[in-house]
Chains A and B, each alone.
Chain A
């Protein structure tokens, strides 16, 4: 593999930029991260951030909604966006010859949106319909329901809010959110592929110069702050719903991505739930046939981490499934093996290499680095930290972060027995 070098700059316009040129690529990809998300909504306006993300593309001072979409399509640009707890991301992949133009369109969209009244109203209506569709997606619904318990009332909000909060949203509140949070100093841009660093930097600086807001009361670029504190509330919660299967989610606190123990946590989680040879897949599915789906994963606001286990199973078997899930976490400290740890390491490291063939995957990784670490982190550095993890490190991590406070959520026909 050729040596790669990432350029990281704070441009004069205020944008934080990281560029990763990749030899031999025929595409370019970028992510523009706005450091404002769901938790920045006023309390009574749950769902606002997503409405902003949806409607910001519905017309600028220069173009109508359809003209803007057509302009991206004229370049063949593949664009998407998403809203998270503390940030919002606008993504693009295109052929390198169209990069300047695509960036120009994104700058126009972020700087001069007009948020037409009719599109704001439609976005609210569609979000209300999405709440309805969430009811038909039990896995996603369970994640929505556990959010406030796992993260607290602010960080744990769902992007769709609720019908009451959505109905309160008016165009002026959409505009206020944009005015307050969308400035050059709140942008992190990660760019990779067939790209020239200096040319791209100059272009981005030019596009975002003067993108300041008189309403930006926060002063510092929020990328340098540790993020909002998450509040964890242990407890068991059951939501009744007529389903064929019962959904079980179990959550407990983990560490922040910036924590020294984070690579150890990744390995521990890998042993528990990564791949078909993992503890959960082996014990819950292969040995007992309790589920089709079982998994473990982590989620990370910037201030901390949350670990999750999840499974769906027919109601008669949910108690046994629940007990098995907990038993697997508990016995990890007792009997985790060096072989399992090596496998977890290889799994993460090899996937970095295979998935690294995809330009947009590399850019997404870079964007996460800026967001969590405030700087690009080389693959070599990440791999060295993972490679150094030992059995004792994992045991120590599990001792220091016991799953003694759990948040349990079940969704389905009946509650679990004996869960406190």
Chain B
């Protein structure tokens, strides 16, 4: 890990409150930059569900200096690998370029953050988003993800779909979108992240040049605390799908909780590569796609075991997942299992340290959740600290041996006792 440790961070706040975090990676030839806006679907009101994501699209549609075509031409003229995404808790705009193009990249992204939200593009983009919603409705994994949130966080903004609904998007006005933009896109609610072979003073100067005159405004409204994850069984019958999606959820540590690494090691042992699910469910021919993982937010999370199967084998899949979870709770995990996860993590971190793009994606997770960057050494140490004993202690604190919350989506009303949701 010697060369990877050569990376280091510079963390400064400009006079207007914009925080700038730079990871200096002397061993690479590229650089990546991105603006994190700390707003997402959970920061919306129900009538405006999908506004954060719509705004992400509109930021590509026009600025005081560029129209939509010029924005895309300028990205492509650098050969940038660029995009943006919106999640429940954030919106992130990013580009990965050759080192010599970093300033151009930051300037372009900064310009987009001052979007004029052109009225003439608004209705056209609405059509694009309605197509995106239609596309999402044809994807079983997205449908079940939305169903889980809708049922497990009922009554809370985490239940809103990131894309919004056909109804909310159809009704959304340009003025409402603009008002949301004014509230959320300001230095106090944004962070500029840079990773690559850069001189940190030069990168800070770029940040000042292109974002230093932004005006600070009131902070984002405080987020409502999500409800405790409820137990229950829900099913959405969608006849056009051929598979049944089965998902079993349990409470888990949030993105800020020190138990998160233990949870992730446990999830890898249960349902990752070379896991118990792989050998005892997939390789038994019960279902081809079964996994476990944690879906986390700043103040809530769930541990989820899920799979997609022949609808007639849903009972068998659920029983197999429950049996593996029960075995885990009863007998714990072995040293070898934990060590295998550590070993894979070590290689994964070495690969991540090669590319500014990978580092940028990890930095945004760490900063959004923990408020600070973590280098690969710290992340490796966190995984190394997980042991069979700490997993046993975790399972006492975050039990998985109850009924949990079961959601099912597919052509069957399954299980029969499930509440059928529309």
Q: Chain A 278-294, CB within 8 Å of chain B: the 1/0 string?
A: 10011001111111110
B contact face: mostly helix, strand, loop, or mixed: helix
Report A-chain residues with C-beta under 8 Å of the C-beta of B1.
Answer: 26
A74 to B97, CA, bound (A): 35
Chain A residue at smallest Cβ distance from B61? A286
Do A277 and B127 touch (CB < 8 A)?
no
Is A219 part of the contact surface with B, judged by Cβ < 8 Å?
no
Do B279 and A27 touch (CB < 8 A)?
no
Is B93 part of the contact surface with A, judged by Cβ < 8 Å?
no
Find A359's partner among B76, B140, B282, B351 (CB 8 Å cutoff).
B351
CB distance from B368 to the nearest CB of A (A): 24
Is B137 part of the contact surface with A, judged by Cβ < 8 Å?
yes
Report A-chain residues with C-beta under 8 Å of the C-beta of B240.
Answer: 241-243
Count of residues in A whose CB is under 8 Å from the partner chain: 70
Within 8 A of B (CB), among A345-360: 346-351, 353-360
Given A243-B240, A244-B137, do A24 and B79 touch, yes or no (CB 8 Å)?
A: no
Chain A residue at smallest Cβ distance from B130? A314
Is B241 part of the contact surface with A, judged by Cβ < 8 Å?
yes
Report B-chain residues with C-beta under 8 Å of the C-beta of A314.
Answer: 130-131, 134
Within 8 A of A (CB), among B109-143: 123-132, 134-135, 137-140
Count of residues in B whose CB is under 8 Å from the partner chain: 75
A288 to B344, CA, bound (A): 46
Is A245 part of the contact surface with B, judged by Cβ < 8 Å?
yes
Report B-chain residues with C-beta under 8 Å of the C-beta of A358.
Answer: 351, 354-355, 358
Interface-forming stretch among A107-115, A132-140, A228-236? A132-140
Is A299 part of the contact surface with B, judged by Cβ < 8 Å?
no
Do B135 and A286 touch (CB < 8 A)?
no
Chain B residue at smallest Cβ distance from A313? B131
Do A132 and B77 touch (CB < 8 A)?
no
Do B79 and A354 touch (CB < 8 A)?
yes
Report A-chain residues with C-beta under 8 Å of the C-beta of B353.
Answer: 26
Report A-chain residues with C-beta under 8 Å of the C-beta of B131.
Answer: 245, 289-293, 312-314
A278 to B73, CA, bound (A): 9
A65 to B288, CA, bound (A): 17
- The 3 A-B pairs of least Cβ separation, nearest first, read A350-B79, A289-B127, A76-B343
Q: List 29 A-B contacts (CB under 8 A).
A: A27-B347, A70-B336, A73-B344, A76-B344, A122-B285, A133-B243, A136-B308, A244-B134, A245-B138, A276-B60, A277-B72, A278-B76, A286-B72, A288-B124, A289-B125, A289-B126, A289-B127, A292-B131, A293-B131, A343-B76, A350-B78, A351-B79, A354-B29, A354-B79, A354-B357, A356-B29, A357-B355, A358-B355, A359-B351
Residues on B lying within 8 angstroms of A by beta carbon are 1, 3-4, 27-30, 60, 68-69, 72-73, 75-81, 96-98, 101, 123-132, 134-135, 137-140, 239-243, 273-274, 279, 282-285, 287-289, 308-310, 336, 339-340, 342-348, 350-351, 353-358
With A24-B3, A26-B4 given, can you name 8 additional A-B contacts, CB distance below 8 Å? A65-B283, A73-B343, A73-B344, A78-B347, A138-B138, A245-B131, A291-B131, A292-B131
